[in-house]
Amino acid sequence: MKTEFFKIKTAFSFGFLAFTSSTLFAENIIATKVNSSFEGIETSNIIKDLKFTEISVYPQKTIVLNDKSVAEKNSQNISKIIKVSAIYNDSDIAFVIKWQDRTLSIQEGYKTDIYGDGFAVQFPKDYSDPKKLPYIGMGSENREVLVHLQKAVPNIYEPNGNGNVELQISRNNTNYFDEELKQFDQNVSNLARIDYQKSFVSAGFRSLTEIKDDSAKVDMNMVYNHNYGCWKGTLSRKLKDEYINLNSPSFPVAFAIWDGDKNNRGGTKLLSSWQTVTLDGKTGGEVLVSEINNIQTGNLENGKAQFKANCIACHIAGEMKSAMSFMAPDLTNIGGYASSAYIRESIIDPNAVIVPGYNRNAHKNFEWYQIVDGKRISTMPSFSWLDENITNDIVSYVQTLKTQIKEEKK
């Protein structure tokens, strides 16, 4: 097994001895302060010697997909490690993300049967209470996320500027030289970025609002290294704009990558949990870092038994399932992208965050929530009546639900 997400410093559980305190942390990303500007950062020297933090990303299994070919391609359920680094200056912050993907996929033109590789970086709009972060990936009601998304695009340029991709030409077929060719390349990359780069605010599936003006401006790029079969993505943005304020000692961030080869609408998505970034040289962010990276260490054996008794009627978790267990989110990888605080909240107060993803036209018996007086009410009952030690054991166990990291097969 390669690096696990959590750096385990002590044994998880000693037989029947249950720990209720939690002192283990995931690795924090430390953003180094630099003086240079981030223009052209994807090729700049300032990112040459950066220190990278390893982060695991997991297939978001929450929703069982209907598409058979997609389901087959994703049945392997393989998680990956991505490497992330961050730097900041007085006004901006930049992230560099590297990951392996041996099957280069580029979304060509507007074909609908070819999907591009891609990556996304997201931030909670409000992180003043680190125990109540938005639903990972999409945000949730009253807990919005800001998402920046970039998809891999070909270096072709549609010369008429009228959007007719049939007329796209490659740089080899132009008769431009020198400055004209430079301008051509610039046009190509601008076109590509504008077309396949999106920022949006989201409060759950079906409630994305794309930001089309410059108010959340980012600079994003993807560069593929054919020798190593890996992508390098870069993102730079203002530390502060009208959506988010990252100019604080530490803040949460999450990452997603798409593998276009896997066919899913937009490619298979692998998602991290909320990570923490600390701006080097600033103090006072320790509470946020420890709250978000906190893991519950209870009795795993008892947690599993309690989980079987109380939860499997509705939920799938890996091999564990019952006749009705498709009527709730699939928890197979939940430990990979949910924090202990989120899992605890889900158990004690299911209405706090309603997983915003299920088809509303589903049969009444299989709905994930009902709408009562205009408010969503989860069909999951609250388990707040459980003994606190039992809840701790369940949280501890649910955190272990995640697939192992494997080397990718070609």
Interaction site with ligand HEC (CB under 6 A): 62, 310-311, 313-315, 328-329, 334, 338, 343, 346-347, 350, 354-355, 368-369, 378-381, 383, 394, 398
CA 225 from centroid of its chain's CA atoms = 22
Q: Which is nearer to ligand HEC, 87 or 394 (CB)?
A: 394
Q: Which is nearer to ligand HEC, 13 or 346 (CB)?
A: 346
Rounded to whole angstroms, what are the CA distances from 169 to 159, 174, 190, 221?
7, 7, 15, 21
Tell the smallest beta-carbon distance from residue 376 to ligand HEC (Å): 9
Integer Cα distance of 251 and 249 in angstroms: 7
Tell the smallest beta-carbon distance from residue 246 to ligand HEC (Å): 25
Q: Which is nearer to ligand HEC, 96 or 311 (CB)?
A: 311
Tell the smallest beta-carbon distance from residue 183 to ligand HEC (Å): 48
Using CA of residue 102, residue 259, residue 100, residue 80, what is the dihedral sign? Answer: negative
Q: Which is nearer to ligand HEC, 294 or 378 (CB)?
A: 378
Question: b or e along 311-349 (b: 16 or more beta carbons within 10 Å of the residue's beta carbon)?
Answer: bbebbbbeebbeeebebbbbbbbbbbbbbbbbbbbbbbe
Tell the smallest beta-carbon distance from residue 353 to ligand HEC (Å): 6
Contact indicator for 344, 395 with CB cutoff of 8 Å: yes
What is the C-alpha R_g of the chain?
Answer: 22
Q: Per-residue DSSP letters for 223-262?
A: EEETTTTEEEEEEEEESB-SS-B--SSEEEEEEEEEEGGG
Residue written as tokens 């697939």?
A: 403
Q: Which is nearer to ligand HEC, 109 or 318 (CB)?
A: 318
Tell the smallest beta-carbon distance from residue 328 to ligand HEC (Å): 3
Integer Cα distance of 274 and 121 in angstroms: 11
Tell the smallest beta-carbon distance from residue 340 to ligand HEC (Å): 11
Q: Which is nearer to ligand HEC, 275 or 392 (CB)?
A: 392
Tell the smallest beta-carbon distance from residue 208 to ligand HEC (Å): 18
Integer Cα distance of 32 and 332 in angstroms: 36
Torsion angle, alpha carbons of 36, 39, 44, 45, to 10: 0
Q: Which is nearer to ligand HEC, 19 or 368 (CB)?
A: 368
